[in-house]
């Protein structure tokens, strides 16, 4: 099968983004991070993405409706819309004779939950890092803020993954950077969760990223959502003030492709240090 055919099908099934990496781009990772721990015969890793529509962030931006994001921007998008697209692409692969292992995005920080069933295999559950895999699939980069960014939508997308034994042409890793990495985004965090930075390297791509105190993010009332799967999992920060500000900056500066008639941020944003401590920036 050609990558072009697979992607055409994925886009017809609702994907906004589709990226492919050869399994060799995962060489050298520990068994807990290697897709071959789940499917030893895997030869390609396919990342299927769908956008978080900008309007699902509106209620949080205005501080008047948080459920708008929780359903169409998070739960339903993750568990229904992308899941259906991923399942249909998996069916397409299997109709062509290739096994397809569809995986939801579960937190890779979760510790082992059982015992190894045989020598040489890791304990269940192996949960892969989807942001890391999306970089390897050439879809974008980890921004300084720690969120995956694409040239199409900035921080506005979610992914699922398919492992397959089909050998597919991999996508190149882009050379251009989306994030200016000037550290300014840290200044928008009212809880002071940005603590310096470090260099991250994925498949030869180097990215300077902030060290973030995710314990603070877990209690953040500015649009962050606690991880619904496990307390060890990182909170979802896409609707929080730090990432909404990042998105507005990327749009205004023309660093991403998405274009709208009106800028996202229309008025002074709100922030909260604690639930009872509401103040204006």
Residues that bind ligand SF4 (CB under 6 A): 189, 191, 193, 212, 216-217, 220, 222, 224, 237, 240-242
Name which of 93 and 224 has its Cβ closer to ligand SF4.
Answer: 224
Compute the CA torsion angle 252, 150, 10, 100 (nearest 10 deg). Answer: -160
* Closest distance to ligand SF4 from the beta carbon of 161 (Å): 24
- In this structure, the dihedral spanned by the alpha carbons of residues 281, 150, 236 and 35, taken in order and rounded to 10 degrees, is -160
Residue number with CB closer to ligand SF4 (100 or 241)? 241
- Distance of closest approach, residue 216 Cβ to ligand SF4, in angstroms: 5
Nearest approach in angstroms of CB 60 to ligand SF4 is 12
Nearest to 1 by CA among 166, 164, 161, 165: 166
Nearest one of 248, 250, 255 to 174, comparing CA atoms: 255
Least separation in angstroms between residue 222's CB and ligand SF4 is 5
Nearer to ligand SF4, 157 or 240 (CB): 240
Based on CB atoms, which residue is closest to ligand SF4, 25 or 234? Answer: 234
How far apart are alpha carbons 54 and 247 in whole angstroms?
9
Closest to ligand SF4 by CB, 174 vs 228, is 228
- State the nearest-atom distance from the C-beta of 192 to ligand SF4, in Å: 8
User: CA torsion 222→197→153→244, rounded to 10°?
Assistant: 20
Q: Please, which residues bridge with residue 95 across strands? A: none
């Amino acid at each position: 099968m050609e990558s072009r055919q697979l992607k055409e099908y994925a886009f017809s099934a609702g994907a906004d983004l589709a990226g492919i990496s050869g399994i060799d781009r995962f060489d050298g990772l520990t068994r807990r991070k290697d897709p071959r721990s789940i499917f030893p015969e895997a030869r390609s890793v396919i990342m299927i993405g769908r956008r978080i529509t900008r309007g699902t962030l509106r209620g949080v931006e205005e501080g008047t409706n948080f459920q708008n994001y929780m359903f169409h921007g998070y739960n339903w998008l993750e568990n229904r819309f992308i899941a259906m697209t991923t399942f249909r692409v998996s069916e397409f692969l299997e109709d062509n004779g290739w096994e397809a292992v569809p995986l939801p995005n579960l937190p890779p920080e979760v510790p082992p939950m059982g015992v190894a069933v045989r020598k040489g295999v890791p304990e269940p559950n192996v949960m892969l890092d989807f942001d890391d895999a999306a970089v390897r699939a050439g879809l974008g980069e980890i921004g300084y803020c720690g969120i995956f960014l694409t040239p199409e939508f900035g921080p506005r997308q979610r992914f699922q993954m398919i492992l397959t034994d089909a050998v597919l042409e991999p996508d190149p890793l882009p050379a251009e950077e989306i994030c200016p990495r000037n550290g300014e985004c840290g200044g928008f965090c009212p809880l002071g969760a940005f603590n310096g930075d470090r260099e991250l390297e994925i498949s030869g791509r180097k990215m300077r990223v902030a060290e973030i105190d995710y314990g603070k993010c877990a209690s953040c009332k500015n649009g962050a959502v606690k991880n619904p799967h496990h307390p060890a999992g990182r909170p979802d920060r896409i609707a929080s003030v730090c990432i909404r500000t990042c998105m507005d900056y990327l749009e205004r500066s023309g660093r991403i492709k998405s274009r709208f008639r009106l800028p996202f941020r229309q008025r002074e944003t709100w922030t909260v240090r604690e639930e009872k401590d509401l103040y204006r920036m």
